[in-house]
Amino acid sequence: MFDYTHMLAVVTPFNIMLMFLGVFGGLVVGSMPGLTSTMAVALLVPITFGMDVNQGLVMLVAVYIGSISGGLVSAALLNIPGTPSSVATTFDAYPMVKKGEAGKALGYAVFASFLGGLLSFFALAVISPLLGAFALRFGPYEYFALVVFTLSCIISISDKSLTKGLISATVGMIMAMVGLSETDSVSRLTFGITDLQSGFSVMPVLIGMYAISQILKDVEEIKNPFKLVNVNFTASEFIRVAAKFKHSVKNVVRSALIGIGVGILPGIGPGLSNIVAYSQAKSASDDPDSFGTGNPDGIIASETANNAATGGAMIPLLTLGIPGDATTMMMLGAFMIHGVQPGPLLMRDHSELVLIILGAYFVSNIFMMLLQVYFIRVLIRALTIPRFVLYPVILGLCVIGSYALNSSMSDVWVFFATGLLGYVFTRQGFPLLPLVLGLILGGMAENHLRVSIVMGNGTLAGYLHRPIALFFFAAAVLSVAYSFYAKYKAKKRLQCVPVEEPVTVE
């Protein structure tokens, strides 16, 4: 078990400064519609390259927490979620703002964010060492099966088409095979291009996929300014609102558990948790009709769940080396840049690093609450920055970051090429997450599959004697099958809805 007193190592003046700046920067980026938490972490990863691994990861954790919570600002004041994790926050926060209760809406959202993060911290501290100890029993068989299960989860939650999700994941797996094979050094899919011998660097692909595609999607509205409402949010207002949370304990606990549980599932994260928690809060309410008109429980459910999901998403990252969502996927890239491989060996051999991350998670949540209470006006002012000024700056930073990773222009071309590919994919309804996860996990899956075949004397028979691997395979099949079944049932319900015949008057 861990010696949790090592978490105090995070409380150094320099680390405190990094967390403060990270949370503040994350809040600013998260509060701007279109600039997601994934982009916030993507912009920062190249900056952390020159830092000590502890300091770099401390700052990334702070940015992650700040950006997820920052989405509540534009969700409440503009009715536009700053990040996908704040979609459900708009349902009741904006109606409350329109009633002239902007301070109250922000108070509920900020304190719910803090409680969700706090409860998620305890889950992260308790579950991570237990899951890490269990994962030490994993071998090549179990890891390959785990990758298959992870990809099945991502594919099965593809919004519009399971087929498109599968195609997207396949493209990512193919990209992972480009370059020299790690097992026999055979050159594959390079087409004679020397720069492709080392394969695709993960970070330029990640940054390009999410940054360029997002900028190109928003280019049609780049000249449209945001219209803000008047806000009077003070510390005394926040304290009055926080005192009312004693009536919402069940809602907070239920939403936090939903957020943690959904966050642990690979590839889902905060984006879905807020919707699920909101729907459950509405179902459990004595007055469900009031949801959507400014009910505080709706705000509390959404913001508690999405912040709780951040800790949940970090659990599989630290213990299994599997990112819980797109943002932790960026953090996985940061681990790899610093030469650290997340997973059960990280929990065993680098337990102090894990504890520093836990400490940073706790302190950053406190900073997140304090900064939003006392510096909310700065975040609101950030919404007035014209997008036609902001986006070129972001694009320039992405180019610099892509080049700085390996001091190679080929990474810059990869950044632009994959960014355009990501834009085309999103325009055609193909999800990006399966593609990027296929790229990251493809090499891992191939290597473990090859090793398991060698251990099985050239056959796959060894899997039949590995119950954990069989469990993951069965879960993968059930995940995809259930998704097909759910979509089939939804289609049947739509077909069964009676269509009223038009009434003709003679």
Res 498 pLDDT > 70: no
Residue 506: which pLDDT band, with cuts at 50, 70 and 90? Answer: very low
Mean pLDDT of 121-125: 87
Mean pLDDT of 120-147: 80
Q: Which residues of 324-334 are buried (b: 16+ CB within 10 A; e: fewer)?
A: bbbbbbbbbbb
Percentage, residues of the chain above pLDDT 90 = 5
Question: For the whole prediction, is pTM greater than 0.85?
Answer: no
Say if strands 187-188 and 179-180 run parallel, antiparallel, or are unpaired. Answer: antiparallel
Mean pLDDT of 104-125: 89
Residue 505: which pLDDT band, with cuts at 50, 70 and 90? Answer: very low
Chain segment 217-231, per-residue pLDDT in tens:
767 666 666 666 666
The 8-class DSSP code of residue 210 comes to I
Domain boundaries, the chain: 6-490
Chain segment 381-433, per-residue pLDDT in tens:
776 777 677 778 778 877 876 776 667 788 888 888 888 888 888 888 887 77
Res 66 pLDDT > 60: yes
Lowest mean pLDDT among 36-40, 80-84, 136-140, 220-224: 220-224
In contact, 61 and 361? CB cutoff 8 Å: yes
pLDDT given for residue 268 in this prediction? 60
Chain segment 203-258, per-residue pLDDT in tens:
788 778 777 777 777 676 666 666 666 667 778 878 888 888 888 889 999 999 88
Structural tokens at position 74:
């534009």
Res 2 pLDDT > 70: no
Q: Higher confidence at residue 253 or residue 201?
A: 253
Chain segment 450-496, per-residue pLDDT in tens:
888 888 888 888 888 888 889 888 988 887 787 777 777 767 766 66
Torsion of CA 92, 94, 97, 102, to 10 degrees: 90
Res 503 pLDDT > 60: no
Chain segment 267-283, per-residue pLDDT in tens:
566 666 787 788 788 87
DSSP-assigned letters across all residues of 260-296: HHHHHSTTTTHHHHHHHHHHHHHHH-S-GGGTTSS-H
